[in-house]
Every structure is written in structure tokens, then in C-alpha cells.
Chain A
């Protein structure tokens, strides 16, 4: 059986621990440790890892690496300081990769 992890600053993620998700606290300044932890989690039995957009900004390379792999699914969620639109941008990126140009979000921006 697999587990679910949440990574981000404490204020954004502590609620998830009540739901039974494993939380890992990192501030955006601790990018190195966060990246290391992400890699470690991906290798062990975490199948879904939610990362706050603020943290995702600084460990983008590590996240990018798992994009085309079947496991884990790394999903960006907005943190406490608001929605940066980075999550939607990653969906947009998928569309651009597949279609060649953005045809889903064209009207939005």
C-alpha cells in the first residue's frame, strides 16, 4: 500500500495531518533539504506528493524530474499565502507539450 505526503511550510499544511496525510515541513529557504526529501519520498512508497506552490518554486528541478515517470504524482497546491497560478501553469504546460500550443487556456489570459 502506498502513502500520501504533503510538503510545504507549516502554516499551509498542518491541517492535512488530521486527514492522515504525512506532512513534511519546509520553508522556501530550505530548498536543498526539501529537494532531498522529495527524492527520498519518491523512491519510497509515497505515490502522491502534494507540494505547496511556494515550495515548488524553489525545487522546480526536482519536481520536473518526476514529471514523465509513472510514480509519484507530484501535485501543486496553493499555500497559505495565496494562489500563484503555478498549479494551473503546470496543466498548461502539459497541453503545450502535447498539442504544441495552448488551446485550453487560450481565453483565460
Chain B
């Protein structure tokens, strides 16, 4: 009797240790959301942190502090990399930033490079998301984004007006209330990459209407329209001086 109780407690204890070891390896990984193409996928389903952050008043001073993490890749000015490795964030709509950040940290948008920086222990909770989105919106935009070869702009303009402008706006200004991103002046190579991923379903939080909308476009169409978009000049009050350095990080 004593012996069997003893063996049971040994087994129970070992099991407890084994479980603890497994749990430690996968902690902090939220469950992956539904992807585009899966049944039950709903674009911009919202909920959770996204809804919380949307209703919080941004504190721009804290937004600057949160942004310090982002600045390592997106640069202190929020201008990203001209080669498109990292997108321009400056001037982006707060709701777009909030949605994308919430999606990346909930694993609804795959971005292994950025993922750890989106985690609460790096940047904080919903208030921090609201703060950094407020800060990013106020940054003046890159006057010299990466562009395409400029050889097919008339074709691109026509395609843009007919297919993109309805949602992303006449000059690519996007729509904060609808979570549609500002596209004007975004780096061409970044646009190309995201566009391709949206088309293929690799960008898992894509808007299904857009996925359908762009399926017929040829390579020529894609290059032409995105080259055109990258060259649209944002409004004068949103654009920065060439060579501007963000004094918040000097």
C-alpha cells in the first residue's frame, strides 16, 4: 500500500515537471487567427485589444517612448527603407496602425521579423498601441520614397482610378474610419511585396474584396499601378523636408 502510493506520487510529480517544461517552451504564443480562404474568416473582425486601443486617447509623449523600439527598423523619422525592406509608417492612419499591430501580435498577420516587437512586454498594452499610432500619424512623410522605373505611369494611373481609388482614395490617402491604409508615397518594393502576398493569400489578414479585385491584374498592370502609387505626392502639410531628422531621437 505504501509502495503503490509512493509510485503514484512519483508518477504524478514527474508528469507535473514534464508538463511544466513543455508549457515553458510555447508560452506567450497566442492562438493563430483564421486566415483568408478559411471558412469563418472575417476581415477586420475586431474585438480584443484592437477595440480597446481604438477607444483610448493617445498620449503622444508615451507614443514617442513606445516608438523608440520601432525606430530601429522604421527609422526615427518613420520613413522606412527606400528599398522596401521596411515600410514607411510616417503619416499612416492611426486605425490602420492599430489594426495591423493588433493583427501581428495576435498572429493574424505573419511577420516573424516584427512579431517580438509587437508583444506586450516590448511595447505595452492597448494604451501603448493607441499612443504609438497617434505618434506615427503626426510624423511628416518621406519626400523621396522608393519608386518603380517610371516607364508605364499613364497605364498605372488609369488602373488606379478604375480599380483602387474607390477604397484607397483619389490620391491614395486611404480612409482612417474604414481601416484602409494611406498608400501615397509608400515605397514601391514594399507595395509590390504586400500586393503579391495579398493576391496569393499569404497575407492572412487581407481584405477579401481586394483579393478578388486584383486577381486579373498582369505583371505589367501590377508594376504600373504600384509605380504610380509610390509617386503620388502626399499633401504639402504631410510631407517632410528632404534630410529631416526627427529631433525626438537626436
- Do A and B actually bind? no
